[in-house]
Amino acid sequence: MAEDRSVETKIPRHVAIIMDGNGRWAKNHRLPRLSGHEAGRKSVKKVVQAAIAHGVRYLTLYAFSVENWQRPREEVQGLMGLLRLVLREELAEMGREGVRLRAIGRLQDLPEAVRAELETAMEKTRGNTKLDLILALSYGSRVEIIEAVKEISKEVKAGRLDPETIDEKTVSGHLYTRDLPDPDLLIRTSGEMRISNFMLWQISYAEIHVTPVLWPDFGKEQFAEALADYARRERRFGGI
């Protein structure tokens, strides 16, 4: 009998990840919370490499939410500093690996130095075509949808859009992800069973994989397990 290779070849085009558990990892190791975020950086690198190896085309990482600004000032400053450092240090490797860096969210909320580093990295990797790595920064799905509604309302008011023609394509075309395909697979680490205001519109038909593994312990093996779980599922999109 021929070997069934469907599980190996059924690869999601777009994987989105809610990276959760850095704080708990740090607590378990009796370390400061920022140490957990620094450890999580290594997991990002491993998962990017795994995504490329498996042929995933788009990878979106929930890096910082609009709600995260409410965290202690020291932690937020530490996270912004870490983000700036990572962007600078990983730029050359992104070029070698063919990774294009992109970002979605209220990028105007980021500190000027971080935003400048981000814009530089995005511009220098614009021509890379192997993997689009999308960072969700100062991101909140409800804010995203509200901003889309406001844009659509302005177009209607200006007479450029007939309200009777508004459909799913119209809404999708006004989201931060307007030029990205919807995620096929959503991964959540740390075992939490919630979406946390992440891509509420876009994940309508995504397959969801939840793992108890904390983000700093999530690597290539766990990513492969998530892909295998996805490959075993039958996506019906509301049909039979």
Catalytic residues, by residue number, are: 20, 68
CB 61 within 8 A of CB 102: no
Burial 7-43 (b: 16+ CB within 10 A, else e): eeeebbebbbbbbbbbbbbbeeeeeebbbbbbbbbeb
**Residue 238 corresponds to which tokens in the numbers above?**
């509301």
* d(C-alpha 111, C-alpha 116), whole Å: 9
Please report which helix (H) or strand (E) contains residue 117, including its range: helix 112-124
CB 59 within 8 A of CB 132: yes
**Strand stretches in 41-168, DSSP E:** 58-65, 99-104, 131-139
Phi-psi region of 18 (alpha: psi -120 to 50; beta: other; left: phi over 0): beta
**Residue 33 corresponds to which tokens in the numbers above?**
């919370």
- Cα–Cα distances in angstroms (integers) from residue 56 to residues 12, 29, 95, 150, 183, in the given order: 6, 32, 17, 33, 11
